[in-house]
Structure 1
Amino acid sequence: MDTDLVAALDIGGTKIAGALVDCEGALLVRAQRPTPARDGAEAVMRAVADVLAELRASSSWGRARTVGIGSAGPVDASAGTVSPVNVPAWRGFPLVDRVAAATGGLPVVLVGDGVAMTAAEHWLGAARGYDNALCLVVSTGVGGGLVLGGKLHPGPTGNAGHIGHICVDLDGDVCPCGARGCVERIASGPNIARRALDAGWIPGPDGDSTAAAVAASARAGDPMAIASYARAAQALAAGIAATATLAEIDIAVIGGGVAGAGEVLFEPLRRSLRDYATLSFVRHLTVAPAVMGTDAGLVGAAAAAWASQEKGAGAPTPQAAALR
């Protein structure tokens, strides 16, 4: 087939990555630039354009027929705009139109980064084979996405499943989003570290005060580090259980840097989930670590592009049908 690839973009506050991806999820050509997040809107767009130009220089570019974008959010897929919290210059930035222009008018599909990760894990990762799934990215923030009835469910604006801003503490701290007691305000990496420090946890000789360092202390038995991760796990469990109760999901897949803590996070999470997922139809809920790693954004953006392409076509490919 002459047109059997999609182009994928993964746009975050640190890097802008691109790839040409085939219908089995293989990344055939890659390009990447740092995100000039503190520069102006056009500087960031130039970095995107440079990534696309590198992909277009490949002899395989002519086989691409759709572009999928997974972007840090909020995104508005209905308007084709993005307003990433970690890219201050982009507020209501018309990314879809600009990428379409930079690729010679190819169709463009936009989803949030949590939805992209979900698409990747459902296509090729830990949620494969599950018809109803919640996938979470727990890192600097907490994002997520949903698969319902075997289909990716991004919602009208591409933000459905954004579990980080479910309230799990009615009188909790004010979140940067403006609400109180959000999952993100309790379970994100910076907040795990903040809470441990506030409780008297002391970093090691290297001065590392990140959530990863807190996790290392928890493994060594530090009670304040253990308590901070237990509180994060409790917040995640409450949010997951609420989602499962509403949507009857079968599995919750957790990725992102905080998930790298392993059983320091997953053991108290499973324990807390038993306290919140109590109804008969959610007790079976499985919790698993994500497996797609740093390529999840690109694979997920490609998955969204393949699904969109199949939706507008006639007979679906087996790969695209698995994404619907």
Structure 2
Amino acid sequence: MALSSDPVALALDIGGTKLAAALVGSDGAVLARRTAPTPAGDAETVWAALSAPVVELLDLATAGGRELLGAGIASAAPMDRRTGVISPVNIPGWRGFPITARVGELLPGLPVRLGGDALCMALAEYHHGTGRGSGCLLGMVVSTGIGGGFVLDGRPLFGVTGNAGHVGHFVIDPAGPPCGCGANGCAEAVASGPSMVRWALEQGWRPLGGTADGIALAAAARAGEAVALAAFRRSGEAVARVVTVAAALCEIDRVVIGGGVAQAWDLLEPAVLEPLADHPGLDFMRRVEVRPATLGIDSGLIGAAALLVGDRVPSLPVGI
């Protein structure tokens, strides 16, 4: 793909299924992209799978005469932005992996920024997607787990170590089901895709064709199956509780929801909006707009670049 002369950021999106790298313009356009499956194995095996497409993109930028601003990294948690170390729960080979230092070795003298994957999704939507025009935004990813990120008055909320925004671990029912984090009744234990499917199976739902997953559950709900519809209502109520807590804490005015469960937006939207409309709380907690994410699989890359291009574009936030 031919590149113009405008500066670009190297963006990385690190997940348990795939590793993605891209050259992203200051306008959020993904100009060139490379992906690779996330391999099993030790730290160096995973790094080799990521560094190969990174080197390829750096060569592409050089050949095209592009000025490189540096690198932005969106990663699954947990992490410590103070040291640039990540330990994604879904990448067993990386425990305490010094991602910013290793990427920095490929970009000597240039800045490297690190942020959570859900926060980067929120940044992308805030600047280039459904979140445009909002003042304070919560981005939520409702998928295998539930992640979140806050953009408050245009600036990302990182927290002390970069792990702020884990709204999936808001406890919405202390007597609820156990969560993988060790607590009971977290939103993730109720509203994530696997949690919805598990609950529906416990209530007697059986998918046609024998594959019990979120796609089958959504199809059953659209066909009017009572248990499947109840699973979406239960998930929607949990998400609505997260929204009201987030609104009380940060006075957000918009929530953007992405992820696999949000692909069934026709089912999830009313399940979230109805309990929000009935919430008896303060007016500012009920004025929150809830919208679907629009940037899809590129949101992590676009948001990772936004961590970096703030150095050149004052309206965009700057990482460490």
Q: Quick one: which amino acid aligns to residue 290 of structure 1?
A: A
Q: Quick one: which amino acid aligns to residue 321 of structure 1?
A: S
**Paired residue for 1:321, among 311, 315, 320?**
315
**Paired residue for 1:54, among 56, 61, 84?**
56
Q: Quick one: which amino acid aligns to residue 51 of structure 1?
A: P
In the alignment, what sits opposite 2:135?
A: 131
Give the C-alpha shift of residue 34 in structure 1. 1.0
In the alignment, what sits opposite 1:151?
A: 155
In the alignment, what sits opposite 2:115?
A: 111
TM-score, structure 2 as length reference: 0.94
Give the C-alpha shift of residue 161 in structure 1. 1.5
Give the C-alpha shift of residue 61 in structure 1. 7.0
Distance, in Å, in 2 between the alignment partners of 1:256 and 1:270 is 18
| Deviation larger for 145-154 or 281-290 | 145-154
Superposition map of 1:180-195 within 5 A: 180-195=184-199
Runs (4+) of structure 1 exceeding 3 A deviation are none
**Paired residue for 1:179, among 177, 180, 183?**
183
2:233 equivalent to 1:239: no
Distance, in Å, in 2 between the alignment partners of 1:211 and 1:2 is 44
Give the C-alpha shift of residue 158 in structure 1. 2.0
**Paired residue for 2:308, among 301, 305, 308?**
305
Q: Quick one: which amino acid aligns to residue 238 of structure 1?
A: R
**Taking structure 1 as reference, are residues 234 and 265 closer, same or farther at Cα in structure 2, changes over 3 Å only?**
same
Question: Structure 1, residues 82-120: CA drift from partner, whole Å, max 9, x if none?
Answer: 111110111111111111112334211000100010010
2:91 equivalent to 1:76: no
Give the C-alpha shift of residue 322 in structure 1. 4.4
TM-score, structure 1 as length reference: 0.92
Q: Any conservation in 2 of the 1:143–1:163 contact (CA below 8 Å)?
A: yes
Distance, in Å, in 1 between the alignment partners of 2:73 and 2:257 is 21
Q: Any conservation in 2 of the 1:12–1:86 contact (CA below 8 Å)?
A: yes
Q: Any conservation in 2 of the 1:122–1:323 contact (CA below 8 Å)?
A: no
Q: Quick one: percent identity of the two aligned structures?
A: 45
- Aligned to 2:283, the other structure's residue is in SS state coil
Distance, in Å, in 2 between the alignment partners of 1:117 and 1:26 is 14
Question: Structure 1, residues 246-271: CA drift from partner, whole Å, max 9, x if none?
Answer: 11000111000100111211101101
Superposition map of 1:1-324 within 5 A: 4-36=7-39, 38-58=40-60, 59-60=63-64, 62-205=66-209, 207-276=210-279, 278-307=281-310, 309-310=311-312, 317=313, 320-323=314-317
Q: Any conservation in 2 of the 1:140–1:189 contact (CA below 8 Å)?
A: yes
- Aligned to 1:56, the other structure's residue is in SS state helix
- Aligned to 1:9, the other structure's residue is in SS state strand
Q: Any conservation in 2 of the 1:3–1:65 contact (CA below 8 Å)?
A: no
